[in-house]
Structure 1
Amino acid sequence: MSENDAADIFARMLEMQSEAARQVIAASIPDEAAIAEWSETTQRLQRMWMDFHAQEKLPEAPAPLFADPAQWMGMMQAWYRQVPLLDPERQQALWQEGMALWEDILAQYGIGDGGAGAAQEPELPRADKRFADPTWREQPVFALIHQTYLLFAERLSELVDEVGGIDGMERDQLRFALKSVLDAMSPANFPLTNPVVLERTLETHGANLIRGMERLAADLERGQLTHTDTSAFRLGENIACTPGKVVHETELYQLIQYSPSTDEVLSVPLVIFPPWINRFYILDLNPKKSFVKWAVDQGLTVFMVSWRSADESLAHIEWDDYVRAQIDAIDHIRARLGVPAVHAIGYCVAGTTLAATLAILARRGEAEKVKSATFLTAQVDFERAGNLKLFVDDTQLEMIRQASRGGFLDGRYMAATFNLLRGSDLIWNYVVNHYLLGEDYPAFDLLYWNGDVANLPARWHASYLRDLYRDNRLVKPDALSADGTPIDLSLVETPAYIQAGREDHIAPPESVWRMTEHFSGPARFVLAGSGHIAGVVNPPDARKYQHWTSDAPAASLEEFVAAAQEHAGSWWSDWLAWIEAQDGARAKPTGKRKPGGRGDAVVEDAPGRYVRMR
C-alpha cells in the first residue's frame, strides 16, 4: 500500500464516518432543555477552569499526583541522542507494517480495495484490557487508533533490547521510562480518542467531565490520586478493628496486644513487624481478611507494632533505631508475659530489618530470644530487587534528598512511586474511570489502606536506598552495623519461614529466594500465588490463589519450582503447622495474656493513636 493509497482510504473512511455522524445527529437533534443543559455544563467547566488558574498559589503538593511522563521522556531523549531507537530502515519497516495493519482492519469494515463487505465481528490482531469495551471496535476510526497505538508500543518496546552503548541498569531504566511514557500516551487517556468517554459525555451532557474536573482539582490540592471512597472506612470500627490494647509505646512505635479468643493459646507469643512505609493494618483489614484475627483465632498471642509516621521530631531516626525498636519490642513482650522467646514476623522492609536484628542477637549471644522468624516478601540480597532499583542512581537519590524537607520524606512520594510501578493499573485506569467517565469510587479496604500513607525519616530512607538497594551491603559480612554491632547474616541459625509472591514486582521471588542462601539455620521456602499484597493477605476461607511447597533440597528458585507441589488456596495453614512444629506447648490465656485486665496498665485501645497520625 502506497502513501497515496493510504490517504485515499483514510479520506473515504472519514467520509463514511461523517455520513454516519450526520445520520446520528439528524435522528437525535437535542431539544431546548438539552441545549440549555449543555450550555450550563460548558459554562461550569469554563468557570472551574478559570477559577483553577486564577488562584494566586496552588496548594503546595510535595508529592506528584501521578508520575510526570516528562521526566521519563527527558530520560528517553538523553539516550536517543546517543543511540537512536529507530534508524531510517526500521522507520520504513514500521511504516509498512502500519500500512498493512490499516489495510487489514479497514478491509474488515468494508473499506478499501480488499473490503468486499464489512465483517460481522472484526478480528483485530492485538488485545489489551484498556480497549476491551466493544465501543473500541464498533467504528473503524477507534479500531485503527488503538490498534496502531498497540503496534507502535509493541515495536518500540522490542527495540530496547537492541539498543547498544548502555549498561544493564540504563537499559532497565530506558525500558521503564518507555513504558511510563507509552502508558501515559494511550488513546484511552484522552476524551477525544476514547469512544467510551465520548459516549458517556453525550449521555450525561458533559456531567461526567464536571465531576472529573472537581475530582482532579481536589486531588491536586491533596497531592495524591484518589483510589477509593475514603468516607466508607473508620479505623477501629470497620477496619483495623480486631480487639486489643496498646501495651507499650516509644517515640517510634506503639505495641498492640490483641485479646485472646480461645480457651488455650500457644505458649510462645507472636510479634509482627509490618513495614513502616505503610500502615500496619494491611494485616488487619477487616474480620474476613485479617491475618491478625485469624492468628488469634488459631490460639496465638499476637502483638503488632504500629509505627509512627515521621515528622520533624523524628528527623534523627535512622537504621539503628528500627533495629533497636525490634529488639525493644521482643524484650518487652518477653518480660510482660514471662516467656524466654517469641515468634517474629517481618513483612517487606521490616523483614529486611528483622534479618539484621537476628544477626545482631546472634553475635551478642542472644539468638534464643527469637524461637522462629517468618519473612513475608522480604529481601536481604538486593542484586535482583526489581524495578525499585531504577530509583537509586545518584540522580534519583539527589531528587529524594531535595524532597525530604524537615528531615522526613512525605509518604505521598512513596505512594506515587509504587503507583508508577504499575502505572496502567494504578494511575491511568483511575484517570479514565473517575476523571473522564465520572464513575463513583469503589469502597475497597485495600485501596483505602494503599492511600493511607506514612512519612519516612529521611536519614533512614537515604541509607536504606544507598546501602541496601544500590550497594547491596547487607549480604557482605560486617559491611554494615547497627546499634554498635556488625551484621553477618551467616550467623543466623534461627528457623526461618520465607514466603514470596510469584507475581511480586516489589520483592521478586528470585530476590526473596536468596535469603535461603545467606542464613545458616533451617529454612522453609513457600511460593504463594499473586503478588506483594494479595499473595500475603489471602485468608484460607477465601479459597483464592495457590501456594507451592517442597521438602527437596534446592540450589535455586528454578530447582525449587521444578520439585514443588502445588496446593490450592492460602499458605496460612502451612505456616501455622510450621509454627506449631517449632513449639507446640500451650497455656491458659490468663494474667497479662488478656491485655487490659485487673492490674494491667495499658496505654489505650487498639488500633491506637499512632496509626491515625499523618
Structure 2
Amino acid sequence: MADTPPPAMPTLADLQHWTWLLGRAQQMMIEQGFDAMRARDPVLPAIPGLTDPETLARTRDFWTDSLTLWQRLLIPQAEPVVETPAQARDKRFKDPRWRENPLFDWIRQSYFLFSDQMLAQVEAVQGVDDKQREQMRFAARGFLDAVSPSNFPATNPEVLEKTLETGGQNLLKGLQNMLADLAKGQLTHTDSTAFEVGRNLAMTPGKVVHRTDLYELIQYAPATENVLATPLVIFPPWINRFYILDLTPEKSFIRWAVEQGITVFLVSWRSADASMKDVVWDDYIAAQIEAIELIRAGLDVPAVHTIGYCVAGTTLAATLAILAARGEADTVKSATFFTAQVDFKNAGELLHFVADDQLALLKTLTTDGFLDGRYMASVFNQLRGRDLIWNYVTNNYLLGKDYAPFDLLHWNGDTTNLPATWHLRYLLDLYRDNLLVEPGALSALGVPIDLGRVETPAYIQAGREDHIAPPESVWVMTRHFKGETRFVLAGSGHIAGVVNPPSAGKYQYWRNADSVSSLAEFIAGAVETKGSWWPDWIAWLRDHGAETVAATGPRQPGEGSLPVLDDAPGRYVRAR
C-alpha cells in the first residue's frame, strides 16, 4: 500500500478563520444563554458582575479584543493594536523582541488586555465603599504585577535567549541569588560590597557630642568662616538610617547645608532591640526637646531651626504643639518638614496595612519587643512591587545578572528595627484613627496635643510622585498650623524628591504664592522652577534669620560644653 501523504498544514487564513469561528460561537452561546434565562423568567434580576449589562458589554469587548490579538498573531500585516502611553513606556517590555516577535507581542498584548479587564471589573463591583474599592485596586495591581509574563522564563524572550546562550548558567546563578536572599530574609537590590558607612557613605566630618539609649547627637564641622547664628537640628525618621541625608558626598544634603554656612546637628536614632520594648512616642518627643535644649545651651543661642523627615516630621509637629502649650515655642525659630504627614485621612497605600488582620499579624512578629526592620522593608517594597520586587526577580533570579552598585538602594536595604509598643500605637492612633488632628485627642509628656497652637514658621515639602506620603496628605498640614507656612511641591517621590542636590540638575519644584484652599488649586496656579528646591529652602531659612557669627569656639565640635564621644557617623548607625 502506498504511503498516505501527510495532511496539508492549514494556512494562516485557515487558522484565522477557525479561530474567529470558535470565538464567535462561544460568544453567541454566552449571549444566548443569558437571553434564555430572561425569557424563562422576565423578572429575573441581573447578577452584578455576571449578567448585568455592563459586564456583558465588557465580555463582548474582551472577546473582540482577544480575536484582534489572534488576528495580529496569525496575520502579522493586520492592523496593529493601539497601545496606551503607559503600555508603550512599560519598562518590563522594553526589549524590542516583545514587539518584533509576533508570539511575544501577542503574549504582551494579551497580558495588557487581561489587566485592563481585571481592573475594570474591580471598578464595576457594586456594594463596596471607597476604602474597600481602593484595597481591591491595590490587591489587583499587586496580583497583576506578579503574573506579568516578564516574570517567567518561558514567556520572557530575553530570559529564553540568555538561557540558550549560557546553557542555563543564568538560571543557576539566579537560583544562587534567590537562595542567598531567602537565607537573609530580604530581597537584595544592589551590590552589598560597594558601599560602607564611614568609607563612602555618611562622610561629612563631625563628632558625636551626646548619647542616650535612644539616640546620638552629631555636630558637623563647619566648612565656612562664618555661619548662621541660628543652628539647625535634623530629625531623620527612625524607621531608616539617617544617612539618606548624607549619602555619597555629591548627594549629601548635610554636606551641602554645612557648605551653605549652617551649623548642623543631627539625631541618629538607635535601632530597637528587646531592651526598647517599652519605648513610646513620648520618648521620641522628649528626645527632640532634649536635643533642642542641648544645642541651645551648648551654643548659647535662644532658638534653633529644625527639620523633620517623614515620621520624625510628624513627631516634630507634636513637639511644636507641646512647646507651644508650655509657653516655649520661641525655642524653635523655624520648622521644615520633608514629606511628613499630620492628617492621615488620605495617607495613601500604607492605609492598606492597618486593617485588623494586618495588625494581628504584626503582633505575632513583635514577641521580642521590637519589629524586625525587614518586615517594614517588605511593606515598602510592596508599595512599588513592579520596581522593587519583580524587576529584581527578573534581573537577578532569571537573567542571573550581577547586582549593580547604587547608594540609595544600599540605604534602602539597610533596615532598622522598631520598638513594638510605639510602632503599633503609631499605626492605630495616627494611621487608623487619625487622632493627631483632633485637638486634645492625644497627649505626650502629660500635655494634650493641639496642632492649632503651632505658630512656628513652617516650610513644608512634598513629592509629586510620593507613594508613602502622598502630596495631598502632606499639603493638608498647611491647614492645621496657625502660623506662616510655605508649601513646595517637588518632582519625584519620597526619597529622590528630597535627595536632589542642585548640582544634579534634575527634576523641578512648584510654588504658588497665592492663598489657596486645596492642592488642586495650588497646582493650577503654581510656578515651576527647574532643578532642586534646596536653594529655595536656604533662601527661606535666611529670611528667618540672616545674622551670622564666626565659626569658632562652640561652633567647632568639641570646643564648647558638648563633649566629643566619637567621630561621625557614630555607633548607632553602624549597629545591626
- Partner Cα separation in structure 2 for residue 314 and residue 236 of structure 1: 26
Q: Which residue of 1 aligns with 2:549?
A: 587
8 Å contact kept, 2:191–2:404: yes
- Partner Cα separation in structure 2 for residue 100 and residue 143 of structure 1: 17
- Partner Cα separation in structure 1 for residue 363 and residue 453 of structure 2: 34
CA 1:84 to 1:305, structure 2 compared with 1: closer, same or farther past 3 Å?
A: farther
Give 1:171 deviation, angstroms.
1.1
- Partner Cα separation in structure 1 for residue 60 and residue 110 of structure 2: 12
Aligned with 1:191 (options 153, 158, 162): 153
CA 1:214 to 1:375, structure 2 compared with 1: closer, same or farther past 3 Å?
A: same
Which residues in structure 2 correspond to 1:43-192 (within 5 Å)?
Answer: 85-87=49-51, 96-108=60-72, 111=74, 115=75, 118=77, 125=83, 126-127=87-88, 128-192=90-154
Q: Which residue of 2 aligns with 1:459?
A: 421
Letter in 1 for 2:430: L
Give 1:591 deviation, angstroms.
1.3
Aligned with 1:204 (options 152, 161, 166): 166
CA 1:420 to 1:558, structure 2 compared with 1: closer, same or farther past 3 Å?
A: same
User: Is 1:511 paired with 2:473?
Assistant: yes
Aligned with 2:293 (options 316, 328, 331): 331
Describe the SS at the equivalent of 1:521.
coil
Q: TM-score, normalised by structure 2?
A: 0.89
Give 1:564 deviation, angstroms.
1.5
Describe the SS at the equivalent of 1:535.
coil
Deviation string for 1:527-575 (max 9, x for gaps)?
A: 1111111110011111111111122111111221122211111110010
Describe the SS at the equivalent of 2:250.
coil
8 Å contact kept, 1:106–1:140: no
Aligned with 1:562 (options 501, 517, 524): 524
Give 1:286 deviation, angstroms.
1.0
8 Å contact kept, 1:122–1:137: no
**For structure 2, which runs of at least 5 residues remain unmatched after alignment?**
1-13, 21-46
CA 1:603 to 1:419, structure 2 compared with 1: closer, same or farther past 3 Å?
A: same
- Partner Cα separation in structure 2 for residue 96 and residue 208 of structure 1: 42
- Partner Cα separation in structure 1 for residue 292 and residue 428 of structure 2: 28
8 Å contact kept, 1:267–1:586: yes
Q: CA RMSD in A?
A: 2.1
8 Å contact kept, 2:16–2:70: no
Letter in 2 for 1:582: H
Q: Which residue of 2 aligns with 1:20?
A: none
Which residues in structure 2 correspond to 1:200-279 (within 5 Å)?
Answer: 200-279=162-241
Aligned with 1:352 (options 299, 302, 314): 314
Deviation string for 1:165-215 (max 9, x for gaps)?
A: 222221111111111111111111111111111111001111110110001
CA 1:317 to 1:264, structure 2 compared with 1: closer, same or farther past 3 Å?
A: same
Which residues in structure 2 correspond to 1:523-534 (within 5 Å)?
Answer: 523-534=485-496
User: Is 1:428 paired with 2:390?
Assistant: yes
Q: Which residue of 2 aligns with 1:319?
A: 281
- Partner Cα separation in structure 2 for residue 598 and residue 582 of structure 1: 25
- Partner Cα separation in structure 2 for residue 396 and residue 107 of structure 1: 46
Deviation string for 1:324-371 (max 9, x for gaps)?
A: 010011011111111111000000000000000000000000001100
- Partner Cα separation in structure 1 for residue 508 and residue 163 of structure 2: 42
Letter in 1 for 2:65: L
Give 1:93 deviation, angstroms.
5.0
Q: TM-score, normalised by structure 1?
A: 0.84
- Partner Cα separation in structure 2 for residue 318 and residue 471 of structure 1: 17
CA 1:599 to 1:301, structure 2 compared with 1: closer, same or farther past 3 Å?
A: closer
Q: Which residue of 2 aligns with 1:25?
A: none
CA 1:91 to 1:368, structure 2 compared with 1: closer, same or farther past 3 Å?
A: closer
- Partner Cα separation in structure 1 for residue 275 and residue 141 of structure 2: 39
- Partner Cα separation in structure 1 for residue 492 and residue 396 of structure 2: 26
Give 1:513 deviation, angstroms.
0.8
Deviation string for 1:219-273 (max 9, x for gaps)?
A: 0010000000010001111011111001101101111111000010001000000
Give 1:159 deviation, angstroms.
2.1
- Partner Cα separation in structure 2 for residue 220 and residue 106 of structure 1: 40
Aligned with 1:542 (options 489, 492, 504): 504
CA 1:135 to 1:501, structure 2 compared with 1: closer, same or farther past 3 Å?
A: same
8 Å contact kept, 1:107–1:118: no
CA 1:387 to 1:435, structure 2 compared with 1: closer, same or farther past 3 Å?
A: same
Describe the SS at the equivalent of 2:435.
coil
User: Is 1:441 paired with 2:403?
Assistant: yes
Aligned with 1:364 (options 326, 329, 333): 326
Aligned with 2:457 (options 492, 495, 503): 495
- Partner Cα separation in structure 2 for residue 392 and residue 84 of structure 1: 29
Describe the SS at the equivalent of 1:150.
helix
- Partner Cα separation in structure 2 for residue 540 and residue 510 of structure 1: 25
- Partner Cα separation in structure 1 for residue 183 and residue 220 of structure 2: 38
- Name which of structure 1's ranges 543-552 and 267-276 shifts more when overlaid on structure 2: 543-552
User: Is 1:289 paired with 2:251?
Assistant: yes
- Name which of structure 1's ranges 150-159 and 87-96 shifts more when overlaid on structure 2: 87-96
Task: Name the count of aligned residue pairs.
Answer: 534
